[in-house]
Structure 1
């Protein structure tokens, strides 16, 4: 399946909103899918990141991928470290698309960049994506919602 990777745009909010209100995505990203304010906040948090994109399939945004800049213990930004987060419309799960998207997205990041990714431990698809693109599993922890999370790391 072919796709185009491009930055999110303000006009994409309805498509983003449609994606993050899908139960499997809302649960995984931990937002209140019924709150428009929460949806808007999530969108603005994503769209204003330095490294962010959506994939366009058949003319419509179908995913989100973002590298959120990390900060040190004093809250100062770390220029070469980020937390990778992504989701994909369930209609496209299991087709290998996300592996290609993550690979293309990472290729656009500056060299000597460190990425971290936290994934629900039972999200086998995302675990496999991260392993396929070279992330290493650093272990698991329990998040604030009581969910088991696997943490991954990639230095490139």
Structure 2
């Protein structure tokens, strides 16, 4: 009994994005398990592989994570000997995050995983890139 079709679940962009996010995370899980990472830990590692040594504040901004979420992630990555944290010698308030040699070595496995994920998506790579760019634009628009 749909009095307002514009409110139908299947017509909601938010619901489509929610389901796509869940499906993507579910698809990543077995691959990430092989790496010994959760998805949030994986995005931290992606950032560190890309940018190298990063302070916690910048890392949180880059990943849109607050310190209450990021700090436990970093503690677990540190316990797994993938990252190291150290206070900046010039400003003790700043904590810098470094990849350990074990964390650096994991990058190659992640690259292999990315190739497997592209195969799982079974789509035109250019269409996937276009979708990613559209989602980035939507995020930027909604974040204003």
| TM class by smaller structure | under 0.3
Relative to its length, the structure with more helix (as a share) is 2
TM-score of the superposition, structure 1-length normalised? 0.25
TM-score normalised by L of structure 2: 0.27
